[in-house]
Amino acid sequence: MRIGYITKEDPNDVRAYSGTHYAMYQALKGEFEEVIPLGPIDHWYKNIAKLKGKILTFGNKKVFKFQYDIKLAQIHAKQLDEKIRKLKPDVLLGSLVSPEVAFLKTDVPVYLTTDATFSLLQDLYKSHSNLHSLSIKNALVLERMAFQKARKLILPLEWLSKSAQNNYRIPKSKIEVIPYGSNLASPTENEVQNLINERIRSEELTFLFVGVRWEEKGGPEAVGIIKELNRKGIKAKMIVVGTAPEIEEECVEVIGFLDKQDTDQLSKLIELYQNSTFFILPTKAECVGMSFIEAASYGLPAIGSNVGGVPEAVINKETGLIFDPEENPSRVADEISELWSNKSRYEEMGAQARKRYSEQMNWKNWAKRVKETLSKEVI
């Protein structure tokens, strides 16, 4: 089976969408006879759409998302249709391309995967909370068209499946839930067990925070938890990656952004996952929670919040601890302290995190199940 892989960015670019498109592309190549990249998708008309947005938002504080421009979506669909006619794939899989595929005319079966629905983005993210009414209208129309066009939606979370059903009336039978994987190279089972054994012997707790938007990802709340641990007599520090907040706390070390395309910086990131005691991200907005999956691949128990897809990435009291975003830092610190005092429970939590990654949350499993889904549907 020859599969056409549709992405807005170049799937060979490891930086595109934090490496997710690249990871999917590599995993698909391991399962299918041929994977034909149909991205990147671009057209000069986007500049017209941007100009339109500036005119519509002049004098107000609304945000216009040019990506949801109807004319631009029609142009992108035409570009894709031409590529599909030329390259003749047997089936199509689009990743995060609802606007681009909404107006496709091809008869080739289309499958879609995405890490969020527009309705959920509006609920969770500030970037989608102040949109111009036309952007909202267009986004809903394009996503509905794309979802209806797809033979099946392949979604990484039940949370997304429920949104597709409730917001777009997509029947459950048209949805397959298959978890995403980690965009970092994974250590072996023995290596993870050795890492867990080393962590148990630690005299200081090291918490790894990985997130680009400090406030949105719960950075200040994470600092509060670390300070509470120290106040209670538990030596703890937090290492911050992905952002560089101006913060002067002895218990916080700021690394900043690490580029996965740079060998040395990638090695540093992997080293931090290996040597930390906990992963922490008390986020206020999260879809799939890729960094939680990365943490699980290293057998690292996670501290997360009951937001978005986090409770599916981290199973409370099994692979980590989940709290409400408004939870008192002192109570969070108490539960972490209780967990750490029970080393056998901590060890089991790390092992369960890794087991869940190995059995479910990895790209090999994702690609295998995608192939099974497409093979059942495509005759």
Residues 92 and 122 occupy one common structural domain: yes
Q: Residue range 179-189: average pLDDT?
A: 93
Q: Residue with structure tokens 């991200």?
A: 281
Is 258 buried (19+), middle (13-18) or exposed (0-12) by CB count in 10 A? middle
Rounded CA separation 105/84 (Å): 10
The pLDDT of residue 122 is 86
Identify the H or E element spanning 230. Answer: helix 219-231
Q: CB 342: neighbour CB atoms within 10 A? A: 11
User: pLDDT confidence of 379, banded at 50, 70, 90?
Assistant: low
Assigned token pair, 163:
């949104």
Same domain, residue pair 166 and 193 = no
Beta bridge partner(s), residue 303:
280, 321
Domain co-membership, 163 together with 267: no
**Helix, strand or coil for residue 162?**
helix
Q: What is the pLDDT of residue 124?
A: 83
Q: How far apart, in whole angstroms, are the C-alpha atoms of residue 126 and residue 123?
A: 8
Q: Looking at the predicted structure, is the pLDDT value of residue 177 above 60?
A: yes
Q: State pTM to two decimals.
A: 0.92
pLDDT of residue 378: 63
For residue range 341-359, list pLDDT tens digits in order.
Answer: 999 999 999 999 999 999 9
Based on the domain organization, do 34 and 46 belong to the same domain? Answer: yes
What sign does the CA torsion over 5, 29, 267, 261 have?
negative
In this structure, are 205 and 177 located in the same domain? no
Looking at the structure, tell me whether residues 13 and 143 fall in a common domain.
yes
User: For residues 66 and 42, is the Cβ–Cβ distance under 8 A?
Assistant: no
Counting every residue written for the chain, the total comes to 379
Tens of pLDDT, residues 33-90 = 999 999 999 999 999 999 999 999 998 889 999 999 999 999 999 999 999 999 999 9
Element (H, E) at 111: strand 110-113
Q: Which domain holds residue 349?
A: 189-359
φ/ψ region of 301 (left if φ > 0, alpha if ψ in -120 to 50, else beta) reads beta
Q: 251-275: per-residue pLDDT in tens?
A: 999 999 998 888 999 999 999 999 9
Structure tokens at 359: 């059995």
Output the domain CATH number for residue 277. 3.40.50.2000
pLDDT, one tens digit per residue, over 82-99 is 999 999 999 999 999 999
pLDDT at residue 377 in the model = 66
Distance in angstroms (rounded) separating the CA atoms of residues 11 and 189: 29
Higher pLDDT, 128 or 40: 40
Q: What is the mean pLDDT of residues 147-175?
A: 96
Model confidence at 295: pLDDT above 80: yes
Distance CA 229, CA 231 (A): 5
Rounded Cα distance between 234 and 237, Å, is 10
- Domain check: are 104 and 18 in the same one? yes
Claim to verify: residue 286 and residue 367 sit in the same structural domain: no
Cα 314 to Cα 20, 38, 69: the distances in Å are 19, 33, 36
Whether 86 and 143 share a structural domain: yes
141 and 234 together in one domain: no
Segment 221-249 shows an average pLDDT of 95
Total of domains in the chain: 2
Asked whether residue 290 carries a pLDDT value surpassing 70, the answer given is yes
Q: Does residue 245 have a cis bond before it (omega within 30 degrees)?
A: no
8 A C-beta contact, residue 108 and residue 89: yes
Contact predicate 223/249, CB 8 Å? yes
In sequence order, what DSSP letters do the residues of 5-69 get, joined into one string? EE-SS-TT-TTGGGGHHHHHHHHHHTTSSEEEE------THHHHHHHHHHHHTTTS--B--GGG-
Read off the pLDDT band of 170 (50, 70, 90): very high
**Same structural domain, 282 and 145:** no
**Do residues 315 and 356 make contact, with C-beta atoms less than 8 angstroms apart?**
yes
279: pLDDT strictly greater than 60: yes
**112 and 166 assigned to the same domain:** yes
How sure is the predictor about 319, in pLDDT bands with cuts at 50, 70 and 90?
Answer: very high
